[in-house]
Structure 1
């Protein structure tokens, strides 16, 4: 009889074979709820809606609403607001209004290059719609960041 046995699913450690986490952020060492827990979908959607509304409002002063220029101004201003607010405020204006902040996986403020990568991917939109079990969008996974409750 062989003493080797195949590992149970919970013992596997290869990519894609991790056991399910009990709550979003467990694998990142974050609490289930309260301060420093992963920000849930409602807060995230509210925050991005506020940020987008601010960019749209400012764009109205720069171009007519139905013009192509208005669309480009809105996207550009949205990105600019992300790039300015996250490093200085710890999150975008919408993040802060909904009680969130952005951190790196090390728990510190994310480096500027991480904020830039995250913002570029967020503007593309699709990566933000693809989430993992920790409720981190692809843009956060690539940038090595996580949006938590403040």
Structure 2
């Protein structure tokens, strides 16, 4: 299981990537930039989790998202997980295994790869 330190760094890497890409399209202090950053973050999560097994931050830190049942994570789990992650609160609530609420609902687990 991935521990909290790696999780925080991975999400910071992902957010920073979305932030930099959004800077190409809107000025930093604009409302458009804020929404564009969030949208890019969600898009990157939803695309990279089923294709490369995790977001860019996850992969850079040696993490991978897998379904509890094994096999391919599929298209719906990343979408559910990411939408819950985008509202932040589920990511702040986790169990004794350090699985976030967003992972529990999506039936996934973040592991060291």
TM-score normalised by L of structure 2 = 0.98
Q: Say which structure, 1 or 2, has more relative contact order (CA 8 Å, 6+ apart).
A: 2
Per the TM alignment, residue 110 of structure 1 is displaced from its structure 2 partner at its CA by 1.2
Alignment of 1:9-48 (within 5 A): 38-48=1-11
User: Which range moved further: 104-113 or 115-124?
Assistant: 104-113
Per the TM alignment, residue 111 of structure 1 is displaced from its structure 2 partner at its CA by 1.9
CA distance in 1, matches of 2:18, 2:71: 27
SS of the residue corresponding to residue 33 of structure 2 reads: helix
Structure 2 equivalent of residue 105 of structure 1? 68
Instruction: Say which one has the larger Rg.
Output: 1
Which of 121, 133, 142 is residue 96 of structure 2 equivalent to? Answer: 133
Per the TM alignment, residue 106 of structure 1 is displaced from its structure 2 partner at its CA by 1.3
CA distance in 1, matches of 2:100, 2:38: 19
Structure 1 equivalent of residue 45 of structure 2? 82
1:65-109: CA deviations, max 9, x gaps? 000000000000000000111111100000000000000001222
1:28-62: CA deviations, max 9, x gaps? xxxxxxxxxx0001111111000000000000011
CA distance in 1, matches of 2:74, 2:111: 16
CA distance in 2, matches of 1:107, 1:97: 22
| 5+ long unaligned stretches in structure 1 | 1-37
SS of the residue corresponding to residue 11 of structure 2 reads: helix
Residues 83 and 119 of structure 1 are in contact (CA less than 8 Å); yes or no, is this contact kept in structure 2? Answer: yes
User: Greater share of helix residues, 1 or 2?
Assistant: 2
Alignment of 1:56-75 (within 5 A): 56-75=19-38
TM-score normalised by L of structure 1 = 0.74
